[in-house]
Amino acid sequence: MKKDLRVQKTLQSIDDAIIKLLKEKSFENITIKDISDEAMINRGTFYSHYSDKYELIESFQVALVSDIEALLYGNIVGESYSEIAESQIKETILKVFEYLKENRIRVLTVANSVGTTEFAKYFSRHMYDFYKVKSEEFGVDLNSEGFTDYLITYVTNAHMGIFLKWLKNDCQESTEEMAGLIETFTINGVFKAVDI
Amino acid sequence: MKKDLRVQKTLQSIDDAIIKLLKEKSFENITIKDISDEAMINRGTFYSHYSDKYELIESFQVALVSDIEALLYGNIVGESYSEIAESQIKETILKVFEYLKENRIRVLTVANSVGTTEFAKYFSRHMYDFYKVKSEEFGVDLNSEGFTDYLITYVTNAHMGIFLKWLKNDCQESTEEMAGLIETFTINGVFKAVDI
DNA sequence: ATAATTAATGAACACTGTGTACAATAAAAT
DNA sequence: ATTTTATTGTACACAGTGTTCATTAATTAT
């Protein structure tokens, strides 16, 4: 059973409003009044859907991250490294870039809203988990738990940085190019990548 | 000529207050009244030194970053890669870890205050510049400007992630261990690091 | 089509925090 | 000891929050 038409319209207009406002000013400087004015709804109506603006932006995050998770876990199948063709990994990285490109505005506005902070934290926690699961599937047996964690942290943050820079750069490079960069940097190491 | 004694005391008590408060709650939830109460000064006195709490935290950031910059640029001398002993780079990385450890509380509170966001942005912009200058000094000639930028972004974010994770982990690993990790990941690449 | 249900509106309210102003007071510098 | 300067206490106007409630309007179900 679907939600009341009015609710759908209200939620949609709030979404549109916050996206538009985030292009003009920072998240912290946006008030509920700004949002309800822009959405052309009563301020009280906002409160009947979200308890504050943080809850609103969280709903954005949740949507984005669950999309990407579905994309990550949905694409790669297989139980050990040998079963997973390298091309499949490449394919997944490519799909992430494509998703990011398609949702550029949403990703950037969310990332710039809570500060890259909260988003990065939230997003990278999921990326971290993904890499962890994958490295275990790959049969990567590491000397110490701590070592693995740092390794994953390294990769997660590196990739996160690349993603956001690319989006801020208006996605000038092709998704294939970017997937290639990520692969080179991560597999060969950055020093090898520049031939030192 | 030194500043008025009263000013020194006031500024110090504000610093202490914000550090203490940041251990209890997030930066956004701290009010000027909280700060002035904790510092045992009049609320108006706060405003005669800082125009708002953001200006206060920025002074923290500036201090931390300028410390680290001095450390980075002060330690490495030489004009080309060949003149710079590898041990000197290692030494610098080590010193960064030592500095971070000594200023653990300050770095973490600032990072957690503005969100890791703003701090990371601010901090990594300087790190980015450093790596850029260094890679030029090293005579790294790259095919495209964009390529270099992505490479530096990759490294900067990766290192930033490691730094903060280590600090959050209570600096359990030794600074030497950490410097080694950074070196291995960056030079050999993470895949080599785990023997894939 | 009409009645019942549910959402949105407008207006009011108490509350918290902001930033400024200014005379009074206390402390430091000369 | 006198001047200078910082801090204090208090007050004020203002902006934003979050809640309440009766009224109005749209949607759903009969």
Q: What is the pLDDT of residues A59-106, one digit of tens each?
A: 888 888 889 888 887 765 555 444 555 667 788 889 999 999 999 988
The pLDDT assigned to B186 comes to 84
Please tell me which residue, B111 or A42, carries the higher pLDDT value: A42
Mean pLDDT for the stretch of residues B45-66 = 92
D chain positions with any atom within 7 Å of a protein CB: 5-11, 15-21, 26-29
Q: What one-character-per-residue DSSP string does A113-157 give?
A: HSHHHHHHHHHHHHHHHHHHHHHHHTT---S-HHHHHHHHHHHHH
Please tell me which residue, B128 or A184, carries the higher pLDDT value: A184
Please tell me which residue, B24 or B6, carries the higher pLDDT value: B6
Instruction: State whether residue A84 sits within 8 Å of chain B by CB.
Output: no
Q: How far is CA A38 from CA A17, A56, B165, in A?
A: 5, 15, 40
Do the Cβ atoms of B155 and A185 come closer than 8 Å?
no
Tokens 């770095």 belong to residue? B107
Token pair for B190:
């993470």
Q: Is B55 exposed, middle or buried (0-12, 13-18, 19+ CB in 10 A)?
A: exposed
- What is the band of B75 on the pLDDT scale with cuts at 50, 70, 90? low
The pLDDT assigned to A192 comes to 64
List, for residues B107-166, the tens digit of each pLDDT value.
Answer: 887 787 655 545 666 666 676 677 666 666 666 555 556 778 888 888 888 888 899 999
Q: Is B109 exposed, middle or buried (0-12, 13-18, 19+ CB in 10 A)?
A: buried
Distance CA B20, CA B42 (A): 18
Mean pLDDT for the stretch of residues B175-182 = 93
> Buried b / exposed e across B10-42, counting CB within 10 Å, b at 16+?
bbebbbebbbebbeeeebeebeeebbbebbebe
List, for residues A15-26, the tens digit of each pLDDT value.
Answer: 999 999 988 888
Report whether pLDDT(B174) > 90.
yes
Token pair for A178:
């970017």
Within 13 A of B156's CA, how many CA atoms are on the CB side? 24
Backbone torsions φ then ψ of A85, nearest 5 degrees: -65, 140
Beta strands (DSSP E) in chain B are none
Of B138, B150, B162, the CB nearest to A181: B150
Do the Cβ atoms of B15 and B41 come closer than 8 Å?
no
Backbone torsions φ then ψ of A111, nearest 5 degrees: -60, -40
Q: Which of B119, B104, B125 is nearest to B57 (CA)?
A: B119
The pLDDT assigned to B132 comes to 67
DSSP summary character for residue B26: -
Please tell me which residue, A195 or B4, carries the higher pLDDT value: B4
Q: Angle of helix A175-188 relative to helix A145-168, nearest 10 degrees?
A: 150
Q: Check residue B40 and give left, alpha or beta (phi > 0: left; psi -120 to 50: alpha).
A: left
Whole-number percent of chain B with pLDDT over 90: 35
- What is the band of A183 on the pLDDT scale with cuts at 50, 70, 90? confident
Suggest the residue from A53, A113, A153 to mutate for an interface test with chain B (most B CBs closer than 10 A): A153
Token pair for B78:
């030489």
Quote the radius of gyration of chain A (alpha carbons, Å): 20
The pLDDT assigned to A117 comes to 45
Whole-number percent of chain A with pLDDT over 70: 72
- What is the band of B82 on the pLDDT scale with cuts at 50, 70, 90? very low
The pLDDT assigned to B86 comes to 60
Q: Which nucleotide does the CA of A45 lie closest to, via C1'? A: C8
Query: What is the torsional sign of CA A147, A151, A154, A157?
Result: negative
- What is the band of A1 on the pLDDT scale with cuts at 50, 70, 90? low
The pLDDT assigned to A149 comes to 83
The pLDDT assigned to B152 comes to 84
Instruction: State whether residue B43 sits within 8 Å of chain A by CB.
Output: no
The pLDDT assigned to B88 comes to 73
Backbone torsions φ then ψ of A139, nearest 5 degrees: 75, 25
Per DSSP, chain B holds a count of helices (H) and strands (E) of 10, 0
List, for residues A98-149, the tens digit of each pLDDT value.
Answer: 999 999 988 887 777 655 445 556 666 666 666 666 666 666 555 556 778 8
Query: Contacts of strand D, CB cut-off 7 Å?
Result: A 1-2, 4-6, 9, 31-33, 43-44, 47, 51-53; B 4, 6-7, 9-10, 40-45, 48-49
Interface touch A154/B194, C-beta < 8 Å: no
Residue B51: partners with Cβ closer than 8 Å, 6 or more residues away: none
For residue B29, give how far its alpha carbon lies from the nearest alpha carbon of chain A (Å). 12
For residue A190, give how far its alpha carbon lies from the nearest alpha carbon of chain B (Å). 6
List, for residues B3-18, the tens digit of each pLDDT value.
Answer: 899 999 999 999 999 9
Amino acid at position B150, single letter: Y
Interface touch B190/A165, C-beta < 8 Å: no
Mean pLDDT for the stretch of residues A34-44 = 98
Which chain A residue has the Cα nearest residue B167?
A150
Do the Cβ atoms of A75 and A66 come closer than 8 Å?
no
The pLDDT assigned to B193 comes to 62
Q: Which H helix or E strand runs over B87? A: helix B86-102
Mean pLDDT, chain B, integer: 82
**Is B77 strand, coil or helix?**
coil
Mean pLDDT, chain A, integer: 81
Mean pLDDT for the stretch of residues B62-88 = 69
The pLDDT assigned to A179 comes to 93
Q: Which of A160, A91, A34, A177 is nearest to B154 (CA)?
A: A160
